[in-house]
Chains A and B, each alone.
Chain A
Amino acid sequence: MNVHLLYEDQEWSSAGSYFDSGSVIHDLGLETLFRASSRDQERAEGNVQSITAADEFLGKTLKRVMMKPLETMEQIRYRQEIMEDCFQNEQFLRSLYEYARDLNIRWEKLGKKEMARPGARDLSVHLVSEVKLLHLFVNTLSKLKELCRQYEERFHSRGLLQFCACLKEAFSDQWEEKVKKALEDITFFCDGQEEYSLTGGNGRVRQARIVMGCQVSPGMKLGPMSLEQVETLDKRFRKLKEKKTMVEKLTVTFAAEPTVIIKDLTLLEDLSQLEGQVIRWILEAFRPFMGECGSFFEELYFQSAFYRACYNLYVRGQNINLEICYPAVCKEDCLRFENLTEYSMAMYRSALPVGNSSAIDEKMLLIVTGANQGGKSTFLRSLGIAQVMFQCGMFVSAKKFESGIFPRFFTHFTRREDSAMNSGRLDEELKRTDQIVRHLGPGSMVLLNESFATTTEEEGSLIAYDIVRALVEAGVKVLTVTHLLSFAKRVYGEERKNVAFLNAERKPDGSRTYKMVPGEPELTSFGLDLYEQMIKE
C-alpha cells in the first residue's frame, strides 16, 4: 500500500535535505511559519481565530518537508495539484489527517514502542495488543475507503486519484472480509473492544474450538502444527459443574480415542499457552499486512500532515488578504515576481506587508544595495522563503512568481552578534563560506546577506568580489544584499551582462517605501541622510 502524496513514485525519506538547513531556517525566519502551521485556523472576518491547541506534529512535519527540495517542475506540480484538491475539499483533508493521527495515537497507547522491541511478540500481553492493533488497522482502513468513495469524483490531482485507487486495490473488499473473519474466529482470545471480559456482560461465555495436526520435533516435543479449524463458540453462560456426571466419566473411560481432561491449574496454563501459540500463528499470517499497514499509516500521518499544515498557513494568509499563487518554473537565470511579500513576517505581524515586483531575466547575480532600514533584508528573505516554498511544492505569497529550481540552496547571513570587527568573526564567516563551497554543485543558489562585513570595507569588498565572481563564473546563482560600496561599484563598473542591481527606494525627502527599484548602486545610510539634513539647515 502506497501513500505517495509527496512523490508520485516514492514515499518520504529525509535524505537529500538542504545542507545546513538549520541556517536556512534561522536566516529566513521560517520557525514563525512552522509555528503558525501548527494551529488549526478558521476562516474569520477580521481576526484570526485559533480553535485548537497547537499540534506540534504539523510544524515539525512542515519543517522536514520544506527542508528537502524537489528537483523537477513535474514533482512540484504533483504536490501543487494535490494541494489545490485538498484546499477545495477541506473536509476531506481534515478527516484524512484526523484518521491517521487518531490511529497513530491509539497505536502509541497500545504500546507501539514496546511491541517493536525484539522478543516482545512472545509476551502474551503484547499478543493481545497486536490483535487489537489489527482491529484498529482494519477499521481505519474501512473508514478511509469510505472517505475516498465519498470524495473521489471531485478530485483532479493525479496524487489523490492514485491514492484512492491504490487503497481500493490493496485493501480489497475480499481481503477486508477475510481479515474480519479471522478476527471473528479468535474473539475467544480477544475482541476489538478497549475493555472486555471473558464472560461478557450478558451471561455468555466464549469458547474456543481448535483442531490441529501435529508432528514431533527433537526431544519429543510436539512439533510443527497445521490448523484444521479455529472458531469461537458463543455459548450461553452456564455454571461449570464441579463433579463429573457418571455419563461423562464413562465417555472418557470408554472413549474411542485417548482424551485428556484439563482438570488442574498447570494443565490449564499449558492449554492457554497452546491457544496463544495458535493466535500467534494466525497473526503471523497477517503480519506482512500489519507491517504494510504500519508503514502506510506512519507515512499517511506524515504526508497528510504536510498538506494539513499548509492548509493552516493558507487560511491564516487568507484572513489577512494575503495574495497567493502557485509558482511556475522558468530558466535558472530568470526571476520574475509580482507583489511578492515576506510570508514569515506576515504571519508574525498578522498584517499585510509591502509587496515587490520585478522581472530579472538572464541574470545570475543580483546585488541589492541601499539605505539601512530600507527593507533590503526583508526583500532578500521574501525571495528566499518563496524559493524554498516553491521548491517543496507549496504556494507562495505573491501574485505571480517564477524562478528556476535550485536543489542546492544556501544562506549566508551575517549574524547580528557577529558584527564586531574582529578577525575571529571573519574567520567564522569564511569557515561558513568554505562549508557552502564544499557542497556546491549543479543547481546551486546562494543568498548572501551583508556577508564579509566583519572586516574593513576595503578588505571585505575584495573578499566579496573574489568569492562572488568565482561563484557566478561557476554557474552558481547569487543573490546578495551588501553594504560594501566598493564591491558593488566595481561590479557595476564592469558592466557585466548577467548582473542585476536593485536599490532600496528612497524618496527625495529621505523617507522609505520599502520597495526595490533598479538602479546604480548607491549607498546612502541613514546616518548620511541625517548628516545632510543637519548641514543643509
Chain B
Amino acid sequence: MYELIAQYPFMAAILALVGLGMAFGSLLGFAAIRFRTEGDPIADQINAILPQTQCGQCGFPGCRPYAEAIADGEAINKCPPGGEATINDLATLLDVEPMPLDEEHGEEKPRAVAYIREDECIGCTKCIQACPVDAILGAAKLMHTVIASECTGCDLCVEPCPVDCIDMITEETTLQTWKWPLPARVPRELVIATDAEQAA
C-alpha cells in the first residue's frame, strides 16, 4: 500500500482528494435532506423587508413571489418602490453587497396615492379587481373610492380603468412630513473652499 502511494504520489493525492470530496459531499447531501427545514424562513424574512406594494414592477406577481425568487438567487435590486433602503436591508439580511437599483424595472419615485375622480367613475369595478390590497371601495354601477391610508401607490388600478378617471397623486411634503436632508456629498469640483463659494 505504502509502496504504491510512494510509486504514484500524484495519483494517490488525486485519489485521496476525490475520496475526501465524495465523502464530505455525501455527508452534506445527507445533512441537507435529513435536516431540511420546513417552509422557507429566509423568503419570509425577505418578504418582511419588501415594501408590499404588490405592484409587480420587479416582474413577479407580487412581493411574496419576488421574495421567494430572491431566496433562490434573484437580484435584489428590482424593487423600485422600496428603493435604496430596501436594497440595503436586503443586502444586510443576505450578507451581499448592496447594488444600485435596476433602472429597467423603474425608478424610485416619491410615494403616491391613487385618487378616483368620482364624478367620472362609471362603477365598472375593474379597479377594485385590480387592487392587490383591497384598498378600493365600491360596487357595480356605483361610484368607487380609494382608501388613501391603505393605498400602496402601485398604480395597478390605473391601467384597467376604462374611463381614465384614476390619478396617481404624489404625496406632497408638508410641514409635518418635511425632513432634514442628508448633507450633500461634496462634489469633486467643489472641494476647495473658494470653488464652493463661487458656486454658491
Q: Are A and B part of the same complex? A: no
Q: Which residues of A contact B (CB under 8 A)?
A: none
Q: Which residues of B contact A (CB under 8 A)?
A: none
